[in-house]
Structure 1
Amino acid sequence: MSKRLVNILVPLISILLGLIIGAIVMAVSGFNPIDGYVALWNGIFMDTYTMGETVRQITPYIFSGLAVAFAFRTGLFNIGVEGQLIMGWLAAAWVGQAFELPAVIHVPVALIAAAAAGALWAFIPGLLKAKLQVHEVIVTIMMNYTALHVVNALIGVISGGEERTEKIHESASLRSDFLETITDYSRMHWGFLIALLAVVIMWFILQKTTLGYELKAVGFNKNASEYAGMNVNKNIILAMVISGAFAGLGGAMEALGTFENMSKLHASTGIGFDGIAVALLGANQPFGVLLGAILFGALKNGGLNMPSEAGVPTEIVSIVIALIIFFVASGYIIRVALERFGKKRKEEK
C-alpha cells in the first residue's frame, strides 16, 4: 500500500470511526442516531440558506487552521491564534467604520490592518522566543487573555462606552447582494475566496520559495540551519509574524463579513483554539487544512440543527468532533494497521 494512499485513508477512517462511535454515544444516551445524523446533514445541506451559512462558518476556520499549521511546519506551536484573531477582528472593524473610502480601497486596507494587527501580536512571542528562548506556548497562552481584555477596553474607547463598535461602512463589507440572493439572505460573504487564496499562498511560500525552505529548515534543525548560514532568530520571528497575519485575517472575516462590527467578548470566540484541531485534521498541510476546516465548519454549523429537528443536544456534535480528532491524533495506530494489511495482501499475491 503506497504512502500517499495511507495518508489519505488515515483521516477518512478516523472520520468514519468518529461517526460510528458518535452514533453509539447517541444510542446509549437515548437518542436515535439516524435521526441525529439526518438532522446534522439537513443543517449543512438542507437548502441554499444553510449551505451559505455553512460556507460562512468554514471561512474563519480556514485562516485559524492555516495560522496553526504554518507555525507548526516551521517548528513552532502557536497557541495564540485566538488572541491574534480577535486583534485582527478589532483592527478590521475599526478601519471599516472609521474611514469612508471606495470599496476597491477600503476592503484591502481593512484586510491589511487585520493582518498587521495579528502579525504584531504574534511578533511579541516570536521575539521572546528568538532572543530569550522563552517558550512560545507559554507566552501565546498568556497573550490570548491579554488580547481579550485589551480588545474589550479598546471597544469601549472606540464606541464611546458602548458594548460594540459601530457597523462598518458598506464599502468595507465583504457581503454582497448577489450572494444574499443566491443563498436566501444567509451571511455568506466573499471572504471564502480570500480564504482559498490564503491556502494557495501558504502552499506557495512553503513549497516554492527560498523563504519557505529556510523556515522549514530552521523548524527541523536549528543548529544545522545556523551552520548552513541561515539567520535562525530572524526566521523564528518571521514564522510567528506570518502565522499571526493568517490569524488576523480570520478575524477580518468576522468583522467585515459575518457580523460587520465587533462586540465586547466575555470569553474566547473558540475559532483560534479550534484552529489547532483543524490543523491536526489537515496534517498541517495547506490543502489538508482546507478539508479539515470544511469538515469542522460543516459539523459545527450542521450541529445547530440537531436539537430542533431531532432533539439531540449540540454537545453530541462536540463529542463526534472530539472523537474524530482523537482518532486522527492516534493515526499512527491506524497507519500501522493499514501498512500491515497492505503487506499481508502483497504476500498473499
Structure 2
Amino acid sequence: MQLFRVVVALFIALIGHVNADTVAADGVACANVPKKAWLDIAVIIQTSAPTTVPAIMLDIVSDLSSCLYQLNIGATGDHNSRVALITYDGRGAVLRHGLTDKQTFNDVRASLKEIEAIQSNDTFANMAAGLRLAMTHLNAYPSYRIQAYVVLAATYDTYATDYPFQMLNLIKQSGTKVATIAYTPSNGVFNPKIGQLASPGLDLSNHKTPQDFGRVISLMNCRCLAGQTQLVINETIYAECFTAVPAVAVSKMITCPNHGKLITAQTRNRYNFITKVLLPSILPNVTSFNVDLVRAGNNNNWNWDAFSGMIPYDNIPNFDDQPSQADSWGYLAQNQYGEWGLYADDGNSAARQYICASRACDASYKC
C-alpha cells in the first residue's frame, strides 16, 4: 500500500543579523535544518483495522523510521528533539513511547517495531482520544522545546460525538502546529479530508520523501510567540510574526520592541495578506496605519526597510496620491469606499497606529 508521507515547507536562516536571512518570494523563509530542530513532537498513529494489515503497518513503520531519522533525537542539549509515540483505535489511545523514555533514534525505532505488530478488528478509530492523550502527555512534561503534532490516519468518523476538530482547535489555539500524513487504508479508498485537519501548509498528502519530512519538521519549529500572528501566504509559512501596537505615533518616532521593525508590504501577496487577513484580525477598526516605506531625501528613491535590508519600491502598491517633495514615510489608509491605498507624509504630521514585525523562533534561532 502506498503511504503518503510527509510534506511541505520553507524555512529561515535566522542567526540574529538581518542580512543573514533567506528571503523567499513574499518574506523571510523558515530555516530548513531539521537536525537542529528543538521540538517535543507527538506522533499519533491510527491502529484500527484499516491500518493494521501487516503490509500497511510495515510500510508505515518503515517510512516513519526514515522520517524520524531526520531529527536529532535526544533529551539534553540545545538543538535536539524528544519524540512521543501514541496509537489509537476504537477503544481509545495508548502511549507507546513517552518523553520520559530513553530518547535515542534506536529506542524510538524499537517502539515503532512493537507498534508494527499491533492487530485490531476495530473499524472505528477515536482520533480525538489520540490527540487528547498527546496533549496531556506533552503538557505534563514541558521543556524549552516547541510542541508539535504529527497525525497518521487513513479514516476518521465525521459523525462521532468525540469529533477530532474540537481537540485540534484546542491544540492550535496556542500556536502549536499539526501535520497530517494521510495514507491509503486496506479498502483502498484514500480519504482527502484528513488533510483538512492540518495546520496551513502542513497537509502531507502529496509529498513522499524523508527530505519532505525534514522540511516539515523545520516548519513546525518555525513559530511565533503567543499573541502574534504569523505570515502565511498560499499555505507557505514564513518566519515573520506581527503584533498590533495599540498606541499611536508619528512614523519617525516609532520603535518596535525585541529588535522588531514596522511592517512592510513589498509584494502583492503581502499587501493582500495585510489588508484582507491581518488587519481584520488584529486591528479591525483602524482606517490608517504606518508602514516601513521610506526615502532619505526629496529626490531619492523609495525603499521598503525590511528585515532582509532595503528593498526598492516598485509601485506595489501604487501611491493613491503622488507624494510631495517633503514626504519621506509611507502609510496605508482607507478611502471613503473602504478601499486600502498607499499614501505618504513627512513622518511628523500625523500619529497613527502601527504593526510591528519580528522574527519567528525556528531551527536556527531559539527564543
**Pair in the same fold by TM > 0.5:** no
What TM-score does the superposition give when structure 2 sets the normalisation length? 0.25
Q: TM-score, normalised by structure 1?
A: 0.26
Higher normalized helix content (fraction of residues): 1
The higher-RCO structure (CA 8 Å, 6+ apart) is 1
- Structure of greater Rg: 2
Choose between structure 1 and 2: higher strand proportion.
Answer: 2
